Amino acid sequence: MTFREDSSETFKNFTLTIKEKIRNQEGCLHLDILRDIKNPNVFFTYSHWESEEYLNKYRYSDFFKNTWSKTKQWFAEKPCAWSVEDISG
């Protein structure tokens, strides 16, 4: 997620206040909040979920909707998201 320069610290601080709520969502196994070293306006969330069903339950929750409506006002660019699988064995 790329944020406007005047909003990146706001996003960082907001995310740090809600990270435990995200981690405590049903089915969430792991959450990291990462920031690009060379571009401090770029952030990533990296999470592990028990299943896609749990991830979708979170995505459609009131908590996520409220969080997203607040977060999207700070974007400089359209955010991207991927669901991936571990193939390393």
Nearest to 31 by CA among 69, 41, 43, 73: 43
pLDDT reported for residue 79: 94
| Domains of the chain, each with CATH number or no CATH | 8-74 (3.30.70.100)
Distances (CA, A) of 85 to 25, 47, 58, 88: 20, 12, 19, 9
pLDDT, tens only, 27-86? 999 999 999 999 999 999 999 999 999 999 999 999 999 999 999 999 999 999 999 888
Q: What is the pTM of this model?
A: 0.88
Residues 1, 35: Cα–Cα separation, whole Å = 9
pLDDT of residue 29: 98
